[in-house]
Every structure is written in C-alpha cells, then in structure tokens.
Structure 1
C-alpha cells in the first residue's frame, strides 16, 4: 500500500485564552432571523435547518417544553411563523444523567500524557453513549483508563471530536478542560490536520481535487446527511482528496478534512460518484467478496499542537487488517 510522505504543518497559532469553554457548549443560544434564512419560516423547521445537530422531533419537544423564546416571550407553538429580524433564544437543557460505569475494554493508545491521549478506535465501537448504545462505548473504556475533561458533559467526557461507529482510526481525547478547549479551538481554526484513507468504487479521472459543498440533515431521511445549500440550512464542508492507488475499478484515496461535518467524507465521496466501499448508508450495497465491519474508511493520521508545550504531535494509526486485505484482493482482481 502506497502511503505518501507526511506533510509538515507550520504556522499554528498560539492560544493563550482559556476562558472560552462556555462558548463551546452554550446552554443558551441566540439566533437572529435573517431574510435569507426564511426559505422555511415555521419555527421548528427553521430551528432544524439552523441547528441540524438536533432532529425536528427534538426541536418540537424543546419548543413544547418552553425552551425557546422569541424576544422576551416564551413560544410553545412549533408552527409559529418567524419574521426577519426576530431574535430567537434557545435554552438547551443538560442531557439526562446516564449511569456511566467504567468498563475494562482494551484500548490501543497511540499517544498519551497527563493532558491528552490519542486512541486508535476500532471499527464497530461507538464513541459515546447514545440511544441504543448505553454500554461498550469508547467513553466507557476511557473512564476505566484515565481522568477525562468534563467540558463535553456527562455523556461525552473528554470527547473533542468524533468518528462514526464503523470508521476506525485516530481520535483525540482530552484529559483536562484546558486541553479540551485548546484542541477544540484548533479544530475550529482548521489548524489540526485529519487525514483518512478510504477505498471507493470507481476511478476518478484526475488524481486529486477539493470538494467544497455544504452539508446538512437530509430533509426526508433524518438519519442521513446530504448536500444542502447554505440558505436551506447546510453548513460549509470542505474535503481535499488525492488518489493513493488505482485498483482497476476501485481506488484507494487519501482524504483530508478542512471541516468536520457529520458523515462528511461519506457524503462528499458519494456526491463525487465514488461512494466508500462497504458504506451501509451512502454506498451501493454491492458485494465485493470481502467481509467488512462497515465502510472502508480509516482515520489514518492526526496532527495537532500540544496544548501545554506547543509542540507538534503527529500520530499515525496502523491500517486495520481487513482494510489491507480488501486492498490486496482488489489489486489481484
């Protein structure tokens, strides 16, 4: 498998202000309705478009429970029609407490010190507790291993960014609140570098490129994301890609994330016309004769600045055996 040489990353900013933690997970969000946002003026639909992290049903519940105000008035009508200039205040209640019991699950630690850890997450492991996944997550394993930052809340302690359940590879974990803040800001400032390897159907005509298409929640299938215009609630999403190896009617591609939207690589690869092999949501469903735990997507390399020392940390997650087997099979076809 051909893997290109590491790229030096320079000119990282220095972050000295550690007072912005409250801005990462605000309990109250203020939104101002712009005329360009009013392709859908109904309150629940508008909120779903502006903040797609929550489903429409979740927004309807928050509205009915009195967590949304228009100016100084609580609004419990999900069908309320917004007007340009309206100020919308959303109070996000804390997540319901979950009895997080540490679990002695083996971890593949790629880097660790008193401030942070970088773990090689296996495909099939969920990062944090959620509906249907109350045990066996990465968070449960981490709680048995080390102290974690509390900025992520009771369900996501230490979690700075996420990987999909069936995506393997490097994920950064914060042990202290300051490390969490610093790492989160690096992601927001696009100075942390995240590279993935993926096997896709087909062979692009050119060797490299950039996909700059906004992503948002699918308007019909709420379990999926899709390409969605900014004025319809999509969020900017940029993915750089380069072919590592052409495998007849497949390709091994290196992806570099500039942004980190949910399912970003999977959605962008599908839009290219080259979905990730084995992707159960966005893929073709076509069998290739190799058993995979999910999509053939691996977070291969992670670069970030150490929050305390300012040193560049560059970590490579070993390529899983099933991924190597897949590439070898496709080479020999």
Structure 2
C-alpha cells in the first residue's frame, strides 16, 4: 500500500515518538539492552526494540547505542519508538464526532481543536482513533498500522479529515494523496504583513537536528523531503495576515514550517515561536490586546478548510468545506476591529 502524506501532524504524538526512560538499578548485572527493555516495556516486541536501536533511537547516558550494548548499574536509558508498542490494543470510546459525510466506503469528519488523531506518548485515550473504533468497529490498517487513517492533522489544528472504512478505500485514497491528486486548503493567521498577495514556498522539510519535536526547511534539499505550499492573502490586519494555503505536498508541520521560513510564523504557534508578540508596537494597550487575542485562540491559528478527492468506488469528485471554528473567527474579528478602529502610531 502506498502511504498517504501527513500534513501538519505533530511529531510528538504521531510519527515521533513513544518515550520511555529508565535508570538501571544499583547492582544491575550487565544485560543486553534489548533484553533489558523487553523486561520493562509492556507489549514491546524484541523486533521493535531492535529497530529502534538500528534507527539510533536508543540512548544510554544521552549517547546513541547499538542493540548489543550491555546495560550496567546507574545507566540512564531512553528509548524512542516510532509507533506505540500497544497499537493493537486500541480501546473503542464513545467520543462524539462531527461527521460531515459518510457512506459505506469512507467518512469525512471535522476535527475539533485539542483532539489527538491517534494514541501516542501521553495520549493513550480520547483520540480520534479511539472514537473511530467505537463508531466503526473494524477498520483497515494503513501502511503505518494505524486504523482508518489516510492522512492526519495535529492536535491543535482543526478541520477536515477523510477516513477509510474498507481496504479498497484505504488503498485508493492513499494513492491519491501519494500522487498529489487531492485538493486541500488551509486557513491560517500569521504574524506580519505578508508582502506578496500570492506566492509559493518551496523548501525540503526535515526534522530539526537540535530539536526533534520541530521540523525545519533545508533550502538546498540536502536533508528532508521536497515540499511546496501555495499561499494567497485573504485579509490584512496591520500586524497579522489571514492567508489561504494550498498544499502540493503534505509534510509534517508543512504550513507552520514554511510560513516561519517566510518570516511569518502562525499566530500563537508555541512550537515555532508564534506565541510571542512578533510584530506591532511596544504600547501597553497593544500588548494587552494581543494577550486577549491569544486567550481567544489558545492554539496555533490553522484550520483545514477544504478537502477534495475522487471517491474510491463511484469515481465521483467529492468536495467538502468546514467553516472556521469559533475560536478562530473570534480572534480574526478582534484583529479586524483593531485594524478599523485603533490608531497606535
């Protein structure tokens, strides 16, 4: 199966990582690290542990070690799994879903802010996958062994997701995402007055070597994967800009990383520095105004607004739209009012 691409997924809860940390007890006899971890991590297979070692994701005393390293007394061991070892133990939970469309092959949902897409470190329940397991029962696995998921958005991004209900739908939809024949538009509020009315950002995206919970642009493409975002200004509010972003690829945190690369981090995006006042005056009233706007929208200002794809059975083109959620509309209206009525220069 060809995997779908994953726009804006949070690596802390999606592809990267399940975290465990242990300190070897005093008197610990030397023991191969794979055996040591199997004794401590429930449901983790030896193959999964050895794969983590091959990927450089097992560290002892902050140094990467191989699978034959022998743990000794006092060692601090940290392991990062690419996928949770309990992925086959997903519990159905009666969590309400906003279903935009559903038939025998798929459903489209409007995900709220705060909902993690699938179980991961620190989020063992309350996820979209838990809700889907309750709503749908059996679901086809994607290439990452995650039920129903064709693509993902992170915890604090709102908007549209398509979910496969059959193996045929999973394969067909995954191929569309891989071949870039889907259409996806996101609405974002970004810091600064975006200079061009429309444009494109191209730059390979890969993991930040200094902070593995962040992604970054590698403009010469020496690392990461190719990525392209087309943007268009929708409205300007002096110190922030409302933009539409259309994806040609779907890399982790693509819009957030590309807009930061342009010099326009998303409003209140704490992971990429947007939770600070980046543009504007030093007046106390302005600071209070921005703090109030942050309170209205306590997350990054990003919404998966439209989604289009070909139905895997009928061949019909399907197009969906999700209105901006109340937290974004309230924040935008606050900036709109500020632009019209406030003079602070």
Counterparts of 1:264-303 in structure 2, within 5 Å, are: 264-286=254-276, 288=290, 289-290=292-293, 291=295, 292-303=297-308
Q: Which residue of 2 aligns with 1:83?
A: none
Cα deviation code 1:5-45 (max 9, x no counterpart): xxxxxxxxxxxxxxxx2x549xxxxxxxxxxxxxxxxxxxx
In the alignment, structure 1 segments of 5+ residues that lack a partner are 1-20, 26-52, 70-75, 79-91
SS at match of 2:135: coil
In the alignment, structure 2 segments of 5+ residues that lack a partner are 5-14, 21-32, 35-45, 55-64, 68-81, 278-289, 339-345
Cα deviation code 1:179-236 (max 9, x no counterpart): 0111111011110011000001111111000001000000110111001256543100
Cα 1:94/1:177, change in 2 over 3 Å: farther
Q: In the TM superposition, what is the alpha-carbon distance from 1:284 to its structure 2 partner?
A: 3.1
Q: In the TM superposition, what is the alpha-carbon distance from 1:293 to its structure 2 partner?
A: 3.4
Counterparts of 1:57-206 in structure 2, within 5 Å, are: 66-67=50-51, 77=66, 95-152=85-142, 156-206=146-196
SS at match of 2:100: strand
CA contact (8 A) 2:133 2:139 kept: no
Matched, 1:318 2:323: yes
Q: In the TM superposition, what is the alpha-carbon distance from 1:153 to its structure 2 partner?
A: 7.0
Within 1, Cα distance between the matches of 2:269 and 2:261?
14
Within 2, Cα distance between the matches of 1:313 and 1:148?
24
Cα deviation code 1:123-161 (max 9, x no counterpart): 110000001100000111111112453222796210110
Q: In the TM superposition, what is the alpha-carbon distance from 1:286 to its structure 2 partner?
A: 2.2
Q: In the TM superposition, what is the alpha-carbon distance from 1:100 to its structure 2 partner?
A: 1.6
CA contact (8 A) 1:237 1:264 kept: yes
Within 2, Cα distance between the matches of 1:252 and 1:276?
10
Q: Which residue of 1 aligns with 2:225?
A: 235
Within 1, Cα distance between the matches of 2:191 and 2:237?
9
SS at match of 1:151: coil
Q: Which residue of 2 aligns with 1:304?
A: 309
Q: Which has the larger radius of gyration?
A: 2
Cα 1:64/1:213, change in 2 over 3 Å: same
CA contact (8 A) 2:308 2:318 kept: yes
Which of 218, 237, 241 matches 1:251? 241
Q: Compute the TM-score of the two structures, normalised by the length of structure 2.
A: 0.70
Structure 1 ranges of 4+ moved more than 4 A: 60-69, 92-95
Q: In the TM superposition, what is the alpha-carbon distance from 1:105 to its structure 2 partner?
A: 1.0
Q: Which residue of 1 aligns with 2:197?
A: 207
Count, aligned residues? 267
Q: What's the RMSD between the two structures over aligned residues?
A: 3.0
Q: Which residue of 2 aligns with 1:221?
A: 211
CA contact (8 A) 2:158 2:304 kept: yes
Within 2, Cα distance between the matches of 1:188 and 1:130?
24
Cα 1:229/1:212, change in 2 over 3 Å: closer
